[in-house]
Structure 1
Amino acid sequence: MYKVLFILVCIIVQDVYASYCYPDFCQNTTNFIPESQEQCLLQPVKRGEDCKEMRFENLGHVPPSGKALAQVSLTAYVKDLEDINEKATAFNFSITNINFDRLITRYQNLGDEETSSCHRVKFYGNVTTYPLKEFHLSCPFSNNSFENNPYRLEYLISGDNYEYSRKLVFIVPNHRFIDQTVKDVAFYTPFIYIDVSDASILTLYIQPLPQRFNVSKYRVWMMNNDTNSTKEVTLENYNINQTIHHNFSVDNGVLYFKVAALHPICHKYGCINSTSPFISIKQPSHRLLIMIISFIWIPPVILYVIYHTYKLYKKKEILKRAERKPKCLLVYSPSHMAHVNVMIDLARYLRYCNINAMIDTLDIAESTNKDPVLWCNESFHSADAIIIATSPQTDEIAPVIYRNIDNQALRLLKENYPRRNKRYYALQFPYCKANDIPKEARQFKRFTMPEELDKLVKTVHEVEYIRFFGVSDKDFVDSIKLAKLQIVKTERNFQAVEENDLLLPDLQLKTRNSEILQLKEVDMKNTDSSMNSTVLKNFNTNIEELNLLGDATDGNVQTFCFNSTNRDSEFRIDTFNL
């Protein structure tokens, strides 16, 4: 199995040392056979069918009367995987009030139950005599490919004559947004998880932001996709070292949560928000008695069953699509700095909408190799959707580091398009012409920005309806307005101009001179008709009136004369007085 969880068990007495995997009195073994002086036994991580098929649902979710509920906390942190030279998200699962004998945990991908990892721990003796105040399971993933995926953590607690289980759901955060290297609070993503053990009450837990950000309030939205209702609350953290939690009473429907930290440098809806997985709640229904009086009721009942089955199927498909965070690559030409800013604001907005929007300006510097070509290749092949944006044709060149990324992406598009394994879309901006789109993308489905921004988000998510609270497109719309003012459309004239064209007279002037010449010839002919046919005829041509050089001059008219015999059909060059 390509997905592996390394489970490290740490027992905290007074101090915690990173080099300790488990204490001396807790032995790592494959069989629960206690030896002398052994107080704790643990099994290595197990996977496969036994772990996948383990059921917790029918065991109850609370301890019996007189037993305290174990206090559980789940926190996320960044683990430096030195063996593969990269970082990944890890979790600390801690339990206090340890008054039980056995613990079983299972991490499982919500979209792929084959990815399951189980761990067993057993305690011996009277745990109240231990110098043990807190029990930790530290679980880093083997690499960062698990990030941005929905997971659930189920744990079973067993005592002498009782056992109960609980279930937590969450999305594995991207390590880049929870790392200690993040200096801007606007980009730090709070980690959240929800206890879904009770179908009538959901408990939201928020891991506080580091103390250096000075954040004490968080805005929470609980949204019901079935009823289109939203419940908004503001939670305040009075102890920076304790996890924030809040109980929500829920009804039937598909629910999910949004959480944003409130800080003065962010907008009124808060900073970048965290999203929970979709949670389907179905309360126990009352018994429905159907009395069939005659065969007339049979067709409506069958139609109702078919409709209800189809509705459940569609809801299941929507949940599968919504739980997965789609990836899209933004392709554009950096022909103007205002256009580059528009694309950056678009990428940030899509990320707020639970879309992993990849763009060169923001992501190449954060990549492992910092190579633009390698980043473009990897991003293209990992993307679910490719978005080609119209870019204005200007004489300016934006002062950006990465250039020709669009050409590389278009080359990959030509090679990959026949495979039909990706979705392709085009964006039309108001400061661009319709033919500014690359010819490779002119047949793609086109979205007009910013009017069809919501439609683009729904299309990328492949759902008919989705809402994101706490997300504002104001920055994106303002950047488009600014780009319309800054970008000057230059019309390029590609027609070649001959040098002799400047020497030729205007067509209207040619016509006027030709008419003057014809009138003079007609007047001359009328004069000659009254004379003898043997008399020489004079033809006057005013060279200046022809304006062959395009000059208009005033002065005396010079007349050039030539004689000709009365030969109507003869033209002789030697008769000209040249």
Structure 2
Amino acid sequence: MRFSKIGAENERNVCRVFNIWENTTVSKTSILKYDCPWSDRSYEGQNFILEYELSWLTVLYKKFIFKVPSFDNFNHLTKIKSLEIFNYVDVTDSDYLRLHIQTAPPRYNVTHYLVEVIRERNDTITRLTVQVLDAKEATNGELIYVYSTWNEFGSIYFTVSPINNICKENECLKSTTPKYLIGRKKSSLVIGMVGASVIIFALFYGLIFWNKKERLLELAPVRIMFVYNPSSNTHCEVVRNLARVLQGAFCITIFMDSVDANHQDPTFWCNHSFTSASHIIYFASPEVSSSAVQGNFKSICNTHDVALKLIKKELGCSHPTKQIVVVTFPYSINATPSELSHLRKFSLMKDFDEFSRYIKPPTPFVPTTLLIWSAQHLEMYMDLINSIYRAEKEFERLNSYSGNHAPEITITVNSMENFPITDDDDTSEDEERLLTIQPHYNFLVSNLELSGGGNNKTEDQPTVTTTNGFKNNIQDLEM
């Protein structure tokens, strides 16, 4: 605790230190009192500062300013009109000055206290505000009035005068507090303008850096590797048509055919494409038994197994660098390997819009759907739909073929010249005749039309059309 005289803090000050033993229990309601006898009349009317600091678990600091009252105006014989009210100001926080008023003894019957806030600046005295405090609101014989100095600067002080039935307003002695100097503060408007400028500046540069980052991401080319099992020609056609649609709409790079590579090593091509790709799309490819496959569907460079191993290795990494998804078609719904079952899936054409947004997220002005449905890409889109339809029909046929169903074959003869018909009455009989070319093929003759004459066996040979869509010459069916 320290007392010091205002204006002579380094010359006249008194310090006191109070130590409390650590094992001592102190009640929260305890009050530390220190009697300081101001017996020397030279102290009267002087302004002093009281500072104290409490150090325990935390540090508490307080600073007060007060004026030592005159003995003649502060003893038990003083009349009400000349009574000086003792008060002090808490200036610990300069933004809020707290005036503490010690109420007069009950014998004076003071009902209210008149408080005036005065500002002195540039030799000009201004009364800022006037407040009347009710004496009944005092706590432990003390009234507190808080004044905010946020927009003020200059010397601020208070005057306090009692009010009762004898002393009306401004009729009795006004007790004055020491002046407290408050420096000029920047107005809230200036602070707001400066703060807004700084924030706008920071946002502007943040937006620039963000745009640079986004532009780098946009400039980075999208490279997609298609991984599929070339189980049939129609399935390969579906994948190629999808690649045409995506390349035409989004101008992206797609790796899908090692035959087009500059080198002849499929494994090297697969590893290089996988490393260069940013997205890996695995197409669920249906398995078809070799006995049911018509034609040669085996790819020259089948990299499906190599790519699948690379995908599994990538998924096993703690920090994968590729975006890997699975795409299914209506004819290959259940053809996804179990190792990839947890990946995100798109079902074409049901999820085509969502799949397009995944490949290229839409911009605020050009949505992905418009890129796909533009007139110049509509033809490629329809080719994709038709190829999916053909593949679906083919796999339905192959599945039916694998079930050992004997196809019905209708024979249409384009010419009557070389067909052995002797009697017109026997025509209906011949139309219903069952021809057996092989023991397990039954041919139903539904219509007989002979083509023009001639000795060319290739042209005169009757055409055989099965109900499943096969077309061959009869001589091709003969063993």
TM-score by length of 2: 0.36
TM-score by length of 1: 0.30
Please tell me whether Structure 1 or Structure 2 has the larger radius of gyration of its CA atoms: 2
